[in-house]
Amino acid sequence: MTIAEYCIFGSVVLYLLTIAPIKWLGFRDYDNSKPRDPAFYHDAIRSRALGAHQNGVEAFPFFAVAVLLAEFRAAPQNLINELAILFLIVRIAYVLTYIGNRPSLRSILWSVGFIINVAIFFLPLIRGSLRI
**How is the chain split into domains, by residue range?**
3-126
34 — pLDDT class (breaks 50, 70, 90):
confident
Residues 3-126, CATH architecture: Up-down Bundle (1.20)
Across 31-49, average pLDDT: 81
Residue type, 68: L
How many whole angstroms separate alpha carbon 123 and alpha carbon 130?
A: 10
> Rounded to two decimals, what is the model's pTM?
0.89
Q: Which helix (H) or strand (E) holds 7?
A: helix 3-25
Q: What are phi and psi of 50, to 5 degrees?
A: -65, -45
Segment 95-125, tens digit of pLDDT: 999 999 999 999 999 999 999 999 999 999 8
